[in-house]
Amino acid sequence: MTDLGSGLIVNHMVEYSISELDTTFGALSDPTRRAVLAALSLGEATVSELAQPHEISLAAVSKHIQILERAGLVRRRKVGRTHYISLEASPMLDAFGWLAAYQDFWGESLDSLVELLERRS
Amino acid sequence: MSAEIPSTIPALEVRRRVPAPPPVVFDTWTDPELVRHWLGGSAMNVPHASIDLRVGGKYEYKLLSPEGANSRILGTFLSVQKPDQLIYTWIVENDAGRSPETTVSIEFIDLGDSTEIVIVHEGFLDVGVRAAHEEGWVGCFDAFVPLLD
């Protein structure tokens, strides 16, 4: 961690745009949507392929996909009447980075604590 | 289609063995003057720390980054068991705003001449709880890494 990084850690602990995190977490708060994301982690899929394992209507799955799309978690590509859906990882990276900032903060602090204890003993 | 995403957010857990027995480590952790020398690592300055070490007592660390940015970490002690355990709330504040409240639980495990410190930092889902409204947030932080591959 460079000197410049330490300020960023705290910034990330505060900032990581809370509204975007809310949207990400909100979109992830449903089991069907998480299953859709898990399926997409294996690669692009059509809406009907994504709907297949679920015991809900195509329209219902479509609605879940729209929520993921609004949260920026998936992208849609249209070829004729077929809609291909793929994973967009960056919002999840932000959410993950938010947590990682805390991890960095503790790691850095403990390094210094060890140094201090070694000096005192 | 069989990939599964876990339905709980794991807390952030950090463990480190440090070369001093628990009473010394506990004091270093809770003495405001000493906190200034280790919290935030080598780059971050802590110009001021105040600690009212009792259940319900408050603490505040003022941080100054090398770039000159001020921030504060503050919270309330929920459990104080010298020299084994500490639990406190944790909020980070700077010019940009305030982080959601999280909870830090520290265990100091006696290994004779040394101590294993176990930090469990949790409550990161609060922000999601608000966002998910009626839906009830169940998270999947540890599913991120495989998804990002």
Condensed to tens digits (0 to 9), the pLDDT of residues A2-48 reads: 444 566 667 667 655 556 666 777 788 788 888 898 888 888 999 99
User: Model ipTM?
Assistant: 0.73
CA distance A26 to B113: 47
B93 chain-A contacts, CB cut-off 8 A: 14
- Domains, chain B, with CATH or none: 14-122 (3.30.530.20)
CB contact under 8 A, A13 and B63: no
User: Do residues B7 and B140 touch, judged by C-beta distance below 8 A?
Assistant: yes
Condensed to tens digits (0 to 9), the pLDDT of residues A62-74 reads 999 999 999 889 9
Nearest CA in chain A to B71: A10
CB contact under 8 A, B12 and A99: yes
CB pairs under 8 A between A and B: 184
The pair of structure tokens assigned to A56 is 């809900």
Select from A99, A28, A33 the least CA-distant residue to B129.
Answer: A28
State which of B7-21, B82-96, B114-128 shows the largest mean pLDDT: B82-96
Phi, psi of B54 (to 5 degrees): -160, 160
Q: How many domains does chain A fold into?
A: 1
Global pTM value: 0.65
Q: Give the domain extent around A27.
A: 3-120
CA distance B81 to A111: 24
The pair of structure tokens assigned to B58 is 């408050």
Condensed to tens digits (0 to 9), the pLDDT of residues A109-119 reads 999 999 999 98
Whether residue B21 is predicted with pLDDT greater than 90 in this model: the reply is: yes
Distance from CA of B32 to the nearest CA of A (A): 13
For chain B, say whether A31 makes contact (Cβ under 8 Å). yes
Check which CATH number belongs to the domain holding A49 and give it.
1.10.10.10
What is residue B54's predicted lDDT score, i.e. its pLDDT?
Answer: 98
Query: Does the N-terminal peptide bond of residue B83 adopt cis geometry, omega within 30 degrees of 0?
Result: yes
Select from B136, B143, B126, B102 the least CA-distant residue to B12.
Answer: B102
CB nearest B20 (choices: A3, A14, A117): A117
